[in-house]
Structure formats: C-alpha cells, structure tokens
Amino acid sequence: MQVAPQGDQPEYVGGYLDEVDGNAYGVDEQENIIKKETYLVLTNPLNCTLRWIWINAEPFQIPHTAVKVDDSQPTPDSSSYIGRAAIDSTYKAGSTPVGNSLLHVVRDGKVLKFSEFEVLTSEYPSLQVSLRKFDFTEIDLTAVEGNAKYELFGVDEITTKFSDRTEVTLEREGIIDEYFDLVEDIADSWAAVYGVELNMILWCGSPAMKTWIQMEDYEIPNVFGFRVERERKVRISAKFELASGENSAQCSFAVIHEDLEIPFKATAIFRSGGNGQNKISQEEISNLLRVTGRDESTFVNLPDGSVQATVTGRLNGRWVLRTYLQSDDPDDPNLSGYGPCDRHLIRGGP
C-alpha cells in the first residue's frame, strides 16, 4: 500500500486484505494504522518458489530471498519485508518497518507487534546453463602470448663420451596446476542458475576445459564468477644429437599464461533445472532471462525447449600454452651462481 510520498519516491507498507470490507490494512513507520481501498497485490508471473520462513527478532537474520515491500529499497538495512503471524489459529500479514526487527500487524483496530513470525521468501525457478563456443579476439590472444611466462618442470643433465656424436632420446613429464576464473559484471543475470556445464575449447593446444560447476555466492558484490582448478600433465618428447664429450643440461619448460584478464563472448544454453511441477516452459525461461538482465536480442528458442543467449565476460587464470625444451651449459660462468636451466630467472624466459 502506498502511504505517502517520500521525496521523489512513494512510501509503501505491507499488510493484509480484509475479505469482508475489501480494504487493505497495514502499519506505517510511525505505527499509524493505514486503511486503503486501492492497493497493489503480489503476483508470481515467473513461477517463483514461494515459502514462509520462521524467524526470530533476536538474532534478526532476514533470508536474502525475503520479499521486500518495495523493490527499490537498496540494502537490507533500509528495507521493509513481508511477514505474517499466527493469531487465534489464523494468519495476518504485515511488514517489518525499516530498521525494526518486529513484525507489525493490524487487528481489530490495534497495532500488534511480533518478535517471532514468518517472512515470505521468493526464489527464482532453477536454471541450468551450458557455456560453449568461446570466442576471443586476435588482439587479446596476442596479448596472452606477450604475457607468457616460463616454468621449469624438469632438468636432464647429459654427458656424452669422447666418441662420435650421440643421438639422445628424451622423455620428460610434469604436473602443472591450472585454474580458470570466469567473471561477468551482471550478477543478477545468474540469480536463477544453480549449475553450469563448462565446455571451453582453448586455442593454445591445451585440452578443452569440460566440467560441471555448482553455483555458490560469489564474494565480489554485483559480480558473477567462478573458478575451475585442475592439474595438467605436460610432456616433452624429443630426439637430438650431442657432440662427443659434451656436457649439457636439457631444460623442460611449460609456457604459461598467468594474471592477464581477457574478454570473451560465449554461447549459453539455458534449460529448466526442475522436474515435474518445478519445470518451467521455454517462454518462462525467456521471461526469467529478460527480468534478470539478459539481452533479449540474442535469444534463440531451440527445439528441445531450451533458450540460447550470448554471455560476455572476462577470463583470467593460469594455464599452459605449450612446452619448450632448452639446452643450457651447466658450466657457463655467466650464470653467476644460478644452477642449470635457471637462465630464465635472469632474462625472463629461455
């Protein structure tokens, strides 16, 4: 119910509808009883899951899915919430005033206050999304190459006899820790997503990143993101000749991208995450994507009932671009105390 203008914004309170006289009743911030013949009613066009959750005023912890009286209220501290309390075996709805942990309800012309009550919560229908077909620009891929670092994962010291040139076969394996951070600056667009199937084919020869991620609250406000970690087995296999009496160190490096954020564009396939009564239609999926900020111009309805859309974001992390084999002289006096294969510490790369 709108009770009074407050600056440029109207002020609203929550209440209940009296079935006898057809009026709505609520309590304003000054604990005055408000009676209205015209009012707004809650609807559920997105087929959200509505629940009444029992809470206590001490400690007062409102669920993050609690329904606000006014969606324009920016923070929990400045918000009023819809609640209800049991009175003589019936429920009466009211609201919690801003900054107050008590539920205010009207009954028989009096304002009743409750420290124990139920608050109304609303959760979006669950969606699953499959991220695929990642596109990166040539400029960004060039920047990744320019940012490459060398990480040593193996050293083989080889000394040949004083005879003819010797053919050497070298096999070396190592384990490199990789991680991928994907971030998008539209956090609300992921509010209904509970799981992501990631299928990212990398341009650099690394195996595709294929995994399932269970969504959790991201630590950065107003940003959606997740991290995927894995161990990557790298391998060098080489054949080469060494001169007679030669002493060499064969250095096996992984060429790694790390700590350079690059933009991407990906195709996202959104599907209903529910079954039976909780399953939502293709139209409801589109409405949900629209309400949560997705670009409607990218929507494509697919024959299986899913909806395709475009996701743009930023990729960061640490992953292997390729391997590199370098021969070093362990007796080189210019290394000045560095060991074999540590030349990359001096000049930033082989």
pLDDT of 7 strictly over 60: no
Bridge partners of 309?
Answer: 268
Question: In this structure, are 316 and 187 located in the same domain?
Answer: yes
205: left (phi over 0), alpha (psi -120 to 50) or beta: left
Stretch (H or E) spanning 326:
strand 307-328
Question: In this structure, are 20 and 62 located in the same domain?
Answer: yes
Residue 276 has φ and ψ, to the nearest 5°, of 60, -130
Domain boundary among 59, 93, 123: 123
Residue-wise DSSP of 62-79: --TTBPBS-TT--SGGG-
Question: In this structure, are 171 and 296 located in the same domain?
Answer: yes
Mean pLDDT of 252-275: 90
Question: In this structure, are 106 and 171 located in the same domain?
Answer: no
Question: In this structure, are 118 and 238 located in the same domain?
Answer: no
Domain boundary among 123, 157, 188: 123
What is the reported pTM?
0.71
Residues present in the chain in total: 350
Please report, for the chain, how many H helices and E strands are present, in that order: 3, 21
**CB 256 within 8 Å of CB 144:** no
Question: In this structure, are 114 and 134 located in the same domain?
Answer: no
CATH no. for residue 269?
A: 2.170.15
pLDDT of 301 strictly over 90: yes
Three-class secondary structure of residue 110 per DSSP: strand
Question: In this structure, are 111 and 135 located in the same domain?
Answer: no
Question: In this structure, are 137 and 273 located in the same domain?
Answer: yes
Question: In this structure, are 131 and 119 located in the same domain?
Answer: no
Question: In this structure, are 101 and 200 located in the same domain?
Answer: no
Most confident range (mean pLDDT) of 45-59, 87-101, 128-142, 174-188 is 128-142
Bridge partners of 98?
Answer: none
pLDDT of 93 strictly over 50: yes
Three-class secondary structure of residue 284 per DSSP: helix
Question: How do 24-27 and 15-17 pair as beta strands?
Answer: antiparallel
Question: In this structure, are 183 and 320 located in the same domain?
Answer: yes
Question: With bands split at pLDDT 50, 70 and 90, how would you rate the model's confidence at 329?
Answer: low
Whole-number mean pLDDT of the chain?
A: 82
Question: With bands split at pLDDT 50, 70 and 90, how would you rate the model's confidence at 50?
Answer: confident
In total, how many domains does the chain have? 2
User: Residue 5's pLDDT is what?
Assistant: 56
Question: In this structure, are 152 and 105 located in the same domain?
Answer: no
pLDDT single digits (tens) 208-256:
888 888 776 544 445 678 889 999 999 999 888 888 777 788 888 899 9
Task: Note down the domain range covering 10.
Answer: 2-123
Beta strands in 138-215 (DSSP E): 149-159, 166-184, 193-200, 209-214
5-14, 95-104, 341-350: segment of lowest average pLDDT? 341-350
Domain boundary among 107, 123, 139: 123
